[in-house]
């Protein structure tokens, strides 16, 4: 296992310290229980709290800041945050208008969040569950579809609405709407190594790819022979387009996400190919985001995410954001 590590147990706390030091104008770390929150808390607004297993950075801790999350709870690598993390983060950032939780649809995340929710009966809160992954209907880790790179889109758009003063029920409805308008699918070329285990999460041959891979390296739809990039783009977009059923002329957001180990050059290549394919379908790519945003440690691979846009969603996407890893 070739990683920058001293003690495995120190990796997450030390890494969170490193994040907080690098972005001390934007975020602060609460060490125990662990959550990252804005340095300057929002006043008189709905607060947004997200979280999930570590190893997907910058999701979620890199998206805390003005225009996006108020706090994020990092679990152990690929492991759900604990109820006390969710509760402490919610109490810390609640500004009197309630807390919206954004949770990816995994059994562990749902369960731990539910325990927190049961104990938060003194705090007005609602939850948006993100399940944008169209690769499979159920997985060993989830009942129903999994939440993957579309989570960023939900966090960005709802973050903008909360910043602008939307009430809790409006933020919840918006989050559900963005989730429903969003579909993703990924492909992996290599596995990844969870530091605590020291071994590859799955085996994959030199000429194989895992289509529809999950962000923890869990199986997808199909193990296929490696294919040219333009074929891969077609394989990823077909189920996304089938799911979203977009009319010709519809504006979309295209998010090309790297899983960690794929160079930016290849992600831009995918953007070029996906744009061409979507244009051929009569869609208008009105907004684009390319980069390593929802990762699986050092996994080589990528995912494509589409969100069907309208004027409201475009304005929410365009609204200013200032976080460690997303800013405009």
What one-character-per-residue DSSP string does 126-168 give? EEEEE--B-S-S-BTTBSSPPP-THHHHHHHHHHHHHHTT--H
Q: Answer for the pair 157, 178: CB distance below 8 angstroms, yes or no.
A: yes
Q: How far is the CB of 190 from its own copies (least distance, A)?
A: 7
Q: Respond yes or no: is residue 141 known to be catalytic.
A: no
Spell out, one character per residue from 215 to 254, where the chain touches its own copies: x when CB under 8 A holds, - when not. Answer: -----------x-xxx-x----------------------
Residue 196 interacting with its own copies (CB under 8 A): no
- 216 among known catalytic residues: yes
By CB under 8 A, is residue 67 in contact with its own copies?
no
Using CA atoms, how far apart are residues 44 and 137, in angstroms rounded to an integer?
A: 39
Residue of the chain from 52, 117, 260, 323 that contacts its own copies (CB under 8 A):
260
Site membership for its own copies, residue 209 (CB under 8 A): yes
Active-site entry in 60, 97, 216, 293: 216
Is residue 268 within 8 Å of 219, Cβ to Cβ? no
Catalytic residue among 37, 56, 97, 255: 56
Q: How far apart are CA 296 and CA 234, in angstroms?
A: 22
Q: At what angle do helices 150-163 and 168-180 cross, to 10 degrees?
A: 150
| Selected binder of its own copies within 246, 273, 304, 306 (CB under 8 A) | 273
Number of H helices, E strands in the chain: 8, 12
Q: What are the catalytic residues?
A: 56, 216
* Interaction site with its own copies (CB under 8 A): 2-6, 11-12, 14-19, 21-22, 54-55, 57-58, 62, 189-190, 206, 209, 226, 228-230, 232, 256, 260-273, 275, 285, 288-290, 292, 295, 297-298, 300, 302, 325, 327-328
């Amino acid at each position: 296992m070739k990683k920058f590590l001293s003690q495995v147990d120190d990796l997450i706390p030390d890494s969170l310290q490193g994040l907080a030091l690098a972005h001390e104008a934007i975020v602060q770390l609460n060490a125990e229980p662990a959550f990252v929150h804005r340095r300057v808390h929002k006043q008189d607004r709905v607060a947004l709290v997200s979280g999930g297993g570590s190893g997907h950075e910058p999701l979620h801790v890199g998206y805390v800041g003005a225009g996006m999350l108020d706090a994020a709870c990092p679990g152990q690598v690929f492991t759900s945050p604990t109820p006390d993390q969710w509760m402490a983060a919610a109490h810390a950032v609640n500004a009197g208008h309630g807390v919206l939780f954004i949770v990816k649809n995994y059994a562990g995340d749902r369960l731990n969040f539910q325990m927190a929710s049961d104990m938060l009966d003194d705090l007005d809160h609602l939850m948006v569950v993100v399940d944008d992954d169209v690769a499979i209907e159920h997985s060993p880790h989830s009942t129903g579809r999994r939440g993957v790179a579309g989570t960023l889109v939900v966090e960005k758009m709802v973050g903008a609405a909360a910043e602008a003063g939307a009430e809790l029920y409006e933020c919840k409805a918006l989050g559900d709407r963005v989730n429903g308008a969003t579909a993703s699918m990924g492909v992996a070329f290599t596995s990844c190594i969870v530091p605590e285990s020291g071994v590859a999460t799955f085996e994959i041959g030199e000429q194989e790819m895992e289509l529809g891979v999950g962000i923890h390296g869990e199986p997808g739809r199909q193990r296929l022979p490696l294919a040219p990039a333009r074929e891969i783009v077609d394989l990823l977009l077909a189920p996304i387009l089938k799911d979203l059923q977009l009319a010709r002329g519809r504006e979309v957001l295209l998010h090309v996400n790297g899983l960690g180990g794929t160079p930016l050059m290849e992600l831009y290549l995918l953007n070029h190919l996906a744009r061409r394919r979507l244009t051929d379908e009569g869609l208008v790519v009105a907004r684009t985001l390319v980069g390593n945003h929802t990762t699986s440690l050092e996994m080589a691979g990528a995912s494509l995410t589409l969100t069907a846009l309208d004027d409201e969603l475009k304005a929410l996407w365009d609204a200013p954001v200032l976080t460690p890893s997303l800013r405009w």
